Amino acid sequence: DVKVTQSSRYLVKRTGEKVFLECVQDMDHENMFWYRQDPGLGLRLIYFSYDVKMKEKGDIPEGYSVSREKKERFSLILESASTNQTSMYLCASSRQGPQHFGDGTRLSIL
């Protein structure tokens, strides 16, 4: 069974901090994705990666960056956290089939 693990379930940070959200998958999937989920807005794609050291912008990349140094790990970075980045963040991975999601990180920026 595919396992996508996000490092924190809940996280509280302050405005201006640099925040790292980590995601690890154990199925050797090439593709990894970061979404944010807000009530009434569904899942919005932030960044994705089809290979190590490769990244592509999604719909809402502003204020975020990513890192993929190893195939199994995809990190989302908030360069200078702001209150409008308070949200649920979901990581997913896939190969040729459907995406498998982690449990999410509920991030609060105070």
Partner 1 sequence: GENVEQHPSTLSVQEGDSAVIKCTYSDSASNYFPWYKQELGKRPQLIIDIRSNVGEKKDQRIAVTLNKTAKHFSLHITETQPEDSAVYFCAASIGNQAGTALIFGKGTTLSVSS
Told to check if 25 binds partner 1 by CB under 8 A, we report no
Told to check if 97 binds partner 1 by CB under 8 A, we report yes
Interface stretch with partner 1, choices 11-19, 63-71, 76-84, 90-98 (CB under 8 A):
90-98
Told to check if 26 binds partner 1 by CB under 8 A, we report no
Q: Cβ 98 to partner 1, closest distance in Å? A: 5
C-alpha 37/C-alpha 14 separation (Å) is: 20
C-alpha 107/C-alpha 95 separation (Å) is: 27
Mapped onto helix, strand or coil, the DSSP state of residue 82 is: coil
Told to check if 54 binds partner 1 by CB under 8 A, we report no
Q: Which residues contact 94 (CB under 8 A, 6 or more apart)?
A: 29, 30, 31, 33, 100
Interface stretch with partner 1, choices 18-26, 45-53, 63-71, 79-87 (CB under 8 A):
45-53
Residues that bind partner 1 (CB under 8 A): 30-31, 33, 35, 40-45, 48, 50, 56, 58-59, 90, 94-104
